[in-house]
């Protein structure tokens, strides 16, 4: 998986799946979360943290260009 694909997973992920009453939504979100956590590179870890901060702490939305070198 490359940086673009990982960023798309972050943007498409249902970050609030854990609060869902719909088991199908929870299962899908849980599987996506596991997939995101499988990638342990320092860059992907930073991307995940930055996007989670955006979702849960109202920081500025990360841009893909911030991670491409």
Q: 36-69: per-residue pLDDT in tens?
A: 999 889 999 999 999 999 999 989 999 999 999 7
Helix (H, G, I), strand (E, B) or coil at 65: helix
pLDDT at residue 4 tops 90: yes
Predicted confidence band at 3 (pLDDT cuts at 50, 70, 90)?
very high
Average pLDDT of the residues of the chain: 95
Give the per-residue pLDDT at 58: 85
* CB neighbourhood size of 3 (10 A): 15
Give the per-residue pLDDT at 2: 94
**End-to-end CA distance of the chain, in Å?**
16
């Amino acid at each position: 998986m490359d940086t673009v694909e990982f960023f798309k997973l972050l943007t498409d992920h249902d970050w609030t799946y854990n609060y869902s009453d719909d088991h199908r939504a929870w299962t899908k979100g849980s599987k996506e979360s596991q997939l995101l956590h499988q990638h342990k590179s320092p860059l992907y870890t930073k991307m995940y943290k930055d996007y989670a901060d955006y979702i849960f702490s109202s920081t500025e939305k990360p841009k893909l260009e911030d991670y491409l070198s």
